[in-house]
Amino acid sequence: MEQSDERTIESKSFLSLCGNRLRSLLTLFPEVDDAFLVNDPTGVMKAWRERALKILVFFTLILKSPIVIKLFMGDSKIVPRWAILLFILLFAASILIVLVEKISLTRRIYLLLGLKAITGITQLVSTQLLGSGRLNLMMLPVMGLILGGPIVAVHFAILCALAIGVTIYLISTGIIQPATVYQGIVPVEYLVLQGTMWLVEVLPHLYLIGHFFLLQERTLVAVSDARIRADVEAEKNRRMEIEINRIAEEERQKLGAELHDGLCQHLTATLLKCSSLMYVLKEQGKPEYDSVENIRAAVEKSIGMAYQVSRGLVPVRIEPDALVPALQELCRIRSVDSNKDCVFVCEADLQISKPEVALHLYRIASEAITNAIKHSGGAEVTVSISIVGQELFLEIADDGKGNRIENRNSNGMGLRIMEYRAGLIGGTLAIKDGESGGSCVVCRIPVGRL
């Protein structure tokens, strides 16, 4: 009983496999997923041309076989016997070439179209204007365009033009004698045969061209949809980055406030106790006075360091006009620390309603000043803010040795961070040569982003 069930299952799976295979053969072009159109258009196009090549041969085999058999069995007064045999031989060779998939697609296309070119030339020589040789030759560039692309089409357009021109010249000058000279009235059956062959040649090409345009349209739509999805995802990621940076800045502000209001106040209280203890020890003439004085000095230095860290964590207040005084203070501190002139110039009545914009501008200016002091070799750094038209310009210029091309194209972390910050607030960042030597970092932001 179990063996019978297993055989039934095997027979059903075999029939299912045969059915799927038959449906695959009968389906002219299998459905292509939009993801493949976007991710691998070259592969999709190659698979489409492979299928199109087989479809052309399939149509030729089905539709032309009766015509070829009729020519072979009949006694044609127009087409010579040797030409009919050559047609049949080329017809069979074309089918065999397409079926040999070990040969590359490009070579099979050239071989197939080359055989059809020989067929067209033979028709032109044997039947002259009564045959369809000219039509077959003229259709070859179209077939080349469908199967192989523009380059193949150009190759066979040149080949067919030369073949038609040379053959007509050789026949007209008598170098080649016509294989058939038919003086009577052309039979109606032959005209019907020529019309049928013309339809057999043209209809598959029209179908393939139509399907190609549909595939191209689907590809364009799929690419457009993918681009829209990418833009939406990029905007979503940009907003997420802005939100993450906002949360990080809030954490910094919280930490800065805790340092300022907690640790600094505690150290200040400790400093006062040390001062009080020093006073007592001095009155009593105790030898521990010097040690307590050293402790007091260390505590006082620690308070200064804690305040400096606190200002670094929260350099800009939330007020709309807080950026300018923050940059002024930054330039003053850097001048003292580096013994170089750091000048701030503000040429605009600046009001920034978004704290994150002010904070990113401050961070950009701080990083650019640091780079100028360390690497420019100059004696002065100028930080300026101006509004020109509908854009705010933040410029950090130095009078140093200039920024060489290799430095501009370097992958320095500082430059990438500045570019990243500028992008987060909807601006751009560039490095250019300074007007009086040196280099200049320019951050541009639309006024509407402030």
Predicted confidence at residue 409, as pLDDT, reads 43
The predicted model gives 116-129 an average pLDDT of 76
Question: What confidence category does residue 408 fall into, taking pLDDT thresholds of 50, 70 and 90?
Answer: very low
Residue 60 dihedral angles phi and psi, to the nearest 5°: -60, -45
Burial degree of 402 (CB within 10 A; 0-12, 13-18, 19+) = middle
The pLDDT score that the predictor gives to residue 443 is: 92
- Joined together, the tokens standing for residue 181 give 């000279």
pTM over cut 0.85: no
CA distance 419 to 277: 53
Q: What's the Rg (C-alpha) of the chain? A: 42
Under a CB-based contact definition with an 8 Å cutoff, are residues 163 and 134 in contact?
Answer: no
pLDDT of residue 6: 54
Contacts of residue 86, defined as CB under 8 A and 6 or more positions apart, other chains included, come to: 119, 122
Residue 295 or residue 7, greater confidence: 295
Q: Quick one: which H or E segment has residue 210? A: helix 188-258
For residue 150, the tally of other CB atoms under 10 A from its CB is 10
% helix, strand, coil for the chain, step of 5: 70, 10, 20
Report whether 139 contacts 201 (CB < 8 A). yes
Is pLDDT above 70 for 56? yes
Of the candidates 425, 171, 182, 192, the one whose C-alpha atom is nearest the C-alpha of residue 323 is 425
pLDDT at 25: 47
Q: Which of 51-55, 85-89, 277-281, 445-449 has the highest mean pLDDT?
A: 445-449
- Range with the poorest average pLDDT among 143-157, 311-325, 349-363, 400-414: 400-414
Beta 341-346 vs 380-388: how paired, if at all? parallel
Determine the Cα angle at 236 with ends 233 and 242, to 5°. Answer: 140
Per this entry, what is the length of the chain? 450
Helix (H) / strand (E) containing 282: helix 264-284
Residue 140 near residue 160 (C-beta atoms within 8 A)? yes
pLDDT band at 406 (very low <50, low <70, confident <90, very high): very low
pLDDT at residue 405, rounded to an integer: 41
- Written in H, E and C, the secondary structure of 48-107 is HHHHHHHHHHHHHHHHHHHHHHHHHHCCCCCCCHHHHHHHHHHHHHHHHHHHCCCCCHHH
Tell me the average pLDDT across 115-119: 82
Band of pLDDT at residue 18, cut at 50, 70 and 90: low
| Residue 190: per-residue pLDDT | 59
- CA gap 104, 132 in Å, rounded: 30
pLDDT band at 404 (very low <50, low <70, confident <90, very high): very low
